[in-house]
A and B are shown apart, each in its own frame.
Chain A
Amino acid sequence: MKQIEITYDDRISRQFIAASIIFGLVGMLVGVLAAAQLSFFQANLGTSFLSFGRIRPLHTNAVIFAFVGNMIFAGIYYSTQRLLKARMASDLLSQFHFWGWQAIILAAAITLPLGITQGKEYAELEWPIDLAIAIVWVAFAVNFFWTLARRREKQLYVAIWFYIATILTVALLHIVNNLSLPTSMTHSFPVFAGVQGALVQWWYGHNAVAFFLTTPVLGIMYYFLPKAAERPVYSYRLSLVHFWSLIFIYIWAGPHHLLYTALPDWAQSLGMLFSLMLWAPSWGGMLNGLLTLKGSWGKLRTDPVLKFFAAGVTFYGMATFEGPLLSIKSVNALAHYTDWIIGHVHAGALGWNGFMAAAMFYWMVPKLYGTKLYSRALADMHFWLGTFGIILYVVAMWVSGVTQGLMLKAVTASGALQYPSFLETLEAVKPFYMMRLIGGSFYVIGFVLMIYNLWKTVKSGAPVEARLTVTEPEAVAHVPAGRLVFSKPIAIIFVMLGLLLGFATRNHGHWVVYLVALAITCVVAYAWSPREGDYSWHRMLEGKAFLFSAFTLLAVLIGGIVEFVPALALKQAVPTENAQRPYSALELAGRNIYVREGCYTCHSQMVRSLVGDTARYGEASKPEEFIYDMPYQWGSKRTGPDLHRLGGRYPDLWHYQHMLDPRATSPGSNMPSYAFLKDAVLDTNALATNVRTMQALGVPYPAKAVLEAEAQARTDGERIAAGLKAQGADVAANSELTALIAYLQSLSSKEKANVSSGISRAE
């Protein structure tokens, strides 16, 4: 038998670890700054580049894609090579992946503070960067699957399953959600508007959490945790069941971000139910992690690596219990748009991702440098500072979220809102913003200790080249793919899916077709099914990497397709008589400023079908009111009030004063000043391009609208400026502030400024 020596490429893991740590620190510090701004509006240092609406996306993108992204790549490269007994297929592609990814992060760090954004959460980066992400990701995928093809270990371990799911699904999500039509190198309009935009965005957004922050880290858990604990994985069949159920169910759950919105009821119900069904599959991962540690509880006391793993997995369990809970409609009615959601994501990001990263780094770095961890005591201190910080943070956000949620919907005995002023509710939660700031800071201090500790560790060793001598595997009996496809498990899955679809459709005519098709599939499948042998069906599948990947892709595609197809058909079903009118050229320019400044990070544009919302903001928002909103701006958090019914509520002068100094009109507000918009000159060259691009996306502007865009915007701007001047406010007709006011006054206006004033209007 032939012996071969493999040298693993660990340099790439060392590079990704360094990048993860550096960008992790930056991302967290930006988070601290953003948190500080909620307590002290002056903390933007008076510059638009650091205003909350611009750096909040920088914080989320940095933490997700730079900190966790680099961390998972480090773990994937390290474990994949060892689990496949093969060096990565191409060092060039690995290096391209590394440097490309860092270039993307750098581009994000430059463009986001400049206000170059698509205005969709975690998908803020503009189209040229999106394109770069797609290219780098594909390079990573090619390298990974190429290595898979050259593996010397036939059976794929569960960690590899999770990596496969990650690589395929992230590519799919990223490409679909970022489909857009550019107007320039730094701006684009997405192809999906309003309700469709929201649905696609949260299919993406929720699954960024699923397939970027969860599945790869589960894969990492399955490799590093048993390694560090030196214990066998608790249960193979649990990993099998929870892997498939997790990836299949996760993809459906996106609409739980849109409960009580203008999204059709059925899609909301799907989102809620699949989120509930996600509870057990998620806890399957937690159980396999924690029960693997069973038997090494003694080591837990002394080994910081296991400590971080145990706590990280526990936080995962906590966050994945809270997620389904928050998806229950009646809970969501209270919690959505409040800090509870912020607390929830930080339990996941700080507790699960942050601690899993720490555990992995503390285990890996000494191995990669052939030395021992510099200080266990420091790592312990990191652990306790971090845990204390997370608890402080999460508790603050729970209390704040529940308090504000209850206050916003409180009604007196005489049927009026108990706290009619939004600012009263903000005042009530301000102490918790301080508490969160302190909690977050503790966490960062712990992280800095880790950096020091790892730095000293690196200094005490030198990069190691890991080698392994293996026997070239013998050829194994080949199982034809057809026998795995036409098999009992697949037949059963088909039957179940068909029944589900038939059950879900109210049109009973479809039933018959489904059942006949199913019957045929079953007969064929049974006829072809494999003989019972030494290997079970799934064991055989684990030996066939590409079939495995194809099944994975199918599993994640089903949920998306079932939700999208009817929702896209909705476009035709929208009643046009009450539909939104297209934005005027000036309003559109104002809207772009609204998007650029990240107003959606604090303001929603969605009056939910809840009496607390309609009493405060007016008539519930309807799907037809957003058909020209590209991107949709429903938001996910209300640090300030909803704006969908804002148009015509206040005079232009109020907006003028509010933008110059929010506290002049709204005492106690923590909104930053947008006085700089008054001096910023509107880019009039973009007006016609914007209208033309919108036209190309199907917005029914009259043919001359493009030609007249500039003149029309000038007339509109002059009218607003003249009106303001008459009231003693001096602003140029072509200032960005004028355009923004035009947009804000157009909100919810149907033809005329139709102001909804709540329930009595329906009478």
Chain B
Amino acid sequence: MSDHHDGIEEHDNHLPNWWLVTLFGSIVFSFAYWTYYETLGVGAAQAQELAGEEAALRALREKSAPPISDESLLALSKDQKVVASGETIFKTNCVACHGMRAEGSVGPNLTDAYWLHGGKPMQIHGVITKGVTEKGMLAWGNVLGDAKVRDVTAFVLSLKGTNVQGKPPQGEKDP
């Protein structure tokens, strides 16, 4: 027993080869990575990469968005399948402000004939897509995507005239 290190002895085995490969491999990789991204700037910077990904997403949205109009939205509001899909979306995203039965709470009652930003199908679609930030209405276009915004617009249109008891009317009466 050695007198040193409180009796702890030390062998002096060679470093395992695979371990050395890991050590030097990661160092070599780091040099290559740094050269590619930082020294030469060949690799895309994060902002560039993000811009590319966002553009791809935008293209996807534009491609999948069928042309819409007052008439087409109104027609969709009579399509039971679309309205049912819209109702699911509404229950997940909208009830927090508009109430379980769209009777209004933070946001306005959507079942009466009064509208703050116009009651035409395209106007409602526009409010849902772009939001009304000063009133606290979120822009859902990016969150839901065009298909879901269309469905939920159809659902809201289908509520017209149901007049659920809730928040008193706000805005102008829609003719």
A-side interface residues toward B, CB under 8 Å? Answer: 79, 82-83, 153, 155, 157, 222-223, 226-227, 232-239, 241, 245, 260, 265-266, 268-269, 273-274, 276-277, 279-281, 283-284, 287, 291, 324, 411-417, 420-421, 424, 503-504, 506, 609-611, 614-616, 620, 648-651, 653-654, 657, 665-667, 727, 753, 755, 757-760, 762
Contacts and interface: CB of A to CB of B under 8 A. Distances in A.
Contacts of A611: 50, 53-54, 57
Interface stretch (B26-34, B76-84, B118-126): B26-34
Interface in B140-161: 140-148
A755 B143 CA distance: 15
A420 B144 contact: yes
Nearest to A225: B8
A417 B57 CA distance: 10
A614 B54 contact: yes
Given A260-B46, A269-B37, A609-B49, A235 B13 contact: yes
A421 B26 contact: no
Contacts of A273: 29-30, 33-34
Given A237-B12, A665-B96, A277 B26 contact: yes
Interface string B12-52: 11111001101100110111011001110000011101100
A226 B1 CA distance: 13
B13 A415 contact: no
A234 B147 contact: no
Contacts of B26: 276-277, 279-280, 324
A506 to B, nearest CB: 6
11 contacts: A233-B11, A238-B13, A260-B46, A276-B30, A277-B27, A415-B60, A420-B93, A420-B148, A504-B34, A611-B50, A650-B136
Given A266-B38, A651-B106, A651-B136, A415 B64 contact: yes
Chain A binding surface, main DSSP class: helix
Chain B contact residues (Cβ within 8 angstroms of A): what range?
Answer: 35 or more
B58 interface: yes
A235 B138 contact: no
B71 interface: no
Nearest to A412: B145
Which residue, of A269, A424, A614, has the highest number of chain B Cβ atoms within 10 A?
A269
A665 to B, nearest CB: 5
Nearest to B11: A232
Interface of B: 4-16, 19-20, 22-23, 26-27, 29-31, 33-34, 37-39, 45-47, 49-50, 53-54, 57-61, 63-65, 92-93, 95-97, 106, 130-131, 133-136, 138-148
B94 to A, nearest CB: 10
B58 A654 contact: no
Nearest to B5: A157
B57 A415 contact: yes
A667 B4 CA distance: 66
A359 to B, nearest CB: 16
Contacts of A653: 106, 136
A269 B142 contact: no
A245 B20 CA distance: 12
B74 to A, nearest CB: 22
A416 B143 contact: yes
Contacts of B131: 755, 757
B61 A415 contact: yes
Given A265-B45, A609-B46, A157 B133 contact: no
Contacts of B49: 609
B106 A421 contact: no
A245 B64 CA distance: 53
A277 B38 CA distance: 18
Given A420-B143, A620-B50, A650-B136, A277 B6 contact: no
A413 B147 CA distance: 10
Given A274-B30, A416-B145, 5 more contacts: A233-B11, A241-B15, A273-B29, A280-B23, A667-B95
